Structure 1
């Protein structure tokens, strides 16, 4: 399966999920009162954790794709585990971000982590794409 096929399928699922979630979010009676900036709800915590996991995966995927020339512990670890870490962390970020987005009670700015969930899904998709590209590159040269 090519990277283009994976990205098209993931994009179609993401767009379909957002389209199906639209009618419930459009009803103004469903929206709770917005939370303050300092309030940490379960949705916000889940979205933050998912986004940080996605960033970790994207960094590892980028390092695996770039193949750092520097020796040492980091270079050896990325050479062994960078692709797997990028794929697993990116997939986890997409799944957790999608769950937070699907279970958020209100819209953007309501304090339920919906904006962070969208960021987590996008960063997770980036991590998966970088990990997949690094995997394909290592198969061609290996």
Structure 2
């Protein structure tokens, strides 16, 4: 008879709430980066109003939501990296959210300068 340890690492295919939250945060942040990139490339394009500010604001909001989800998962994770709590994904969500927010801010400042 084997005794299972109290704090065991999750399996590779197990999907905990921490992993779900950090994956969602990373995907929202990635969407923010893509929208910000499009707002920078085409400020008068389909994603915004005549000066492209809507796309930049959406990118900034997505980046902030990504950072909030990443911070929430990182603050509530029980173990370290590799334990299946989503801590690695939380760090990725924080980084991608920061990039999306920065690019969205840059796109917003450019759209206001040219508008």
**Would you say same fold, with TM above 0.5?**
yes
Mark the runs of 5 or more structure 2 residues left unpaired by the alignment: 1-5
Q: Is the 8 A contact 2:36 2:107 kept in 1?
A: yes
Q: Is the 8 A contact 2:74 2:90 kept in 1?
A: yes
Higher relative helix content: 1
Match of 1:86 in 2: 59
TM-score (norm 1): 0.71
Q: Is the 8 A contact 2:53 2:107 kept in 1?
A: no
Mark the runs of 5 or more structure 1 residues left unpaired by the alignment: 1-30, 70-74
User: Residues of 2 paired with 1:77 and 1:138: CA distance?
Assistant: 12
Q: CA deviation at 1:81?
A: 2.8
Q: Is the 8 A contact 1:91 1:125 kept in 2?
A: yes
SS of 2:47's equivalent in the other structure is: helix
User: Residues of 2 paired with 1:38 and 1:68: CA distance?
Assistant: 42
Structure 1 segments, 4+ long, off by >3 Å, are none
Alignment of 1:38-53 (within 5 A): 38-53=13-28
User: Residues of 1 paired with 2:73 and 2:96: CA distance?
Assistant: 15
Match of 2:47 in 1: 77
Alpha-carbon distance change, 68 to 141 in structure 1, aligned in 2, over 3 angstroms: closer
